[in-house]
Amino acid sequence: MSEKSRSTLITGASRGIGRAIAFRLARQGHRIAVNYNTHPGDAEEVVETIKSEGGEAIAVQGSVAEREQVDAMFAATEEAFGPVQILVNNAGIIDDALILRMKDQAWDRVIQTNLNGTYYCCHRAVPGMVKARWGRIINISSVVGISGNIGQANYSASKGAIHSLTYSLAKELSSRNITVNAIAPGYIETATVDGLPQKTKDTIMTWIPMRRFGVPDEVAVAAEFLAKDAARYTTGIILRTDGGMAISGSN
C-alpha cells in the first residue's frame, strides 16, 4: 500500500458503485466510512469485508438530503478517523416520469438528494481539507447529465448541475491542493438496472458502442485513480465510464 492512509467518506456505499469504491479505496489503505440510508445490513457486510482484509471501516447512517444528518455522518467519521480527506459523493435516487406526468414532489426529491446532498457534503468537507491543504472530492454523476434522457428530466438536471458544481469547486480549491472531479457512469449492472424490463435493456444496449453494461468495479477503478496522490494535477474533469455511450448520439 503505497498511498498514505486517509480518512474517507463514501456516501451510498452499502451497495452497487459505492460498495465497489469502498473496497477499492480500502485496499489502498484508506480508512473508510461506509454511509448508508436504508440498508444497514448491506453496510455492515461491506465493513466486515474490509476488516477481514485488514482494513479499517465503520458504517455511518444518514440521508444526504438532510443537512443535519450530513453533519452527523461527518461527525461520526471524524471521531473514528479524523477530518475527511477523501469524499466520494455517490448517493443518489431516481424518480422517473415524462415531463407531462412528472409531479413536483418527484422533481424536488431528486434535486434535494442528488444535487443538494452533494452540495451539503462538499460544504461540510471543504473546511477540513483547506486546513490540511490536501483533499480529494469525487462526485459520481451520470452520462445522462451530459446527454439527457427521456423520462429523466429531474435526474439529468441534477447530474448536469453536479458537473457545473464540480467545475466551480475545482477552480475555487485547486490552489489549496484539493482536486474536484466527477465520474459519469453509463448503465452499470446495479439493482436499478437489473430491475429494468428486458425490452428496455435491449433498447439501451443499442446505445452503447461496447454492446454491454458496465460493472461497478469499472467505475471504482476510476475513483481509485482520482483519489491517488499521483492524480494531483487532474482536476475539474468529467471522466466518462459509459462504454462510449456519450459519443454514440443514439439516445
- Residue matched to cell numbers 471521531: 79
Strands 86-89 and 57-61: unpaired
Helix or strand run (H / E) with residue 26: helix 16-27
Task: Provide the greatest CA pair distance for the chain.
Answer: 53
Residues labelled as active-site residues? 155
Q: Which amino acid is at 128?
A: G
Q: Which amino acid is at 246?
A: A
Spatial separation of the C-alpha atoms in residues 17 and 20, rounded to whole Å = 5
- CA geometry: angle 4, 15, 150, nearest 5 deg: 115
Strands 31-36 and 86-89: unpaired
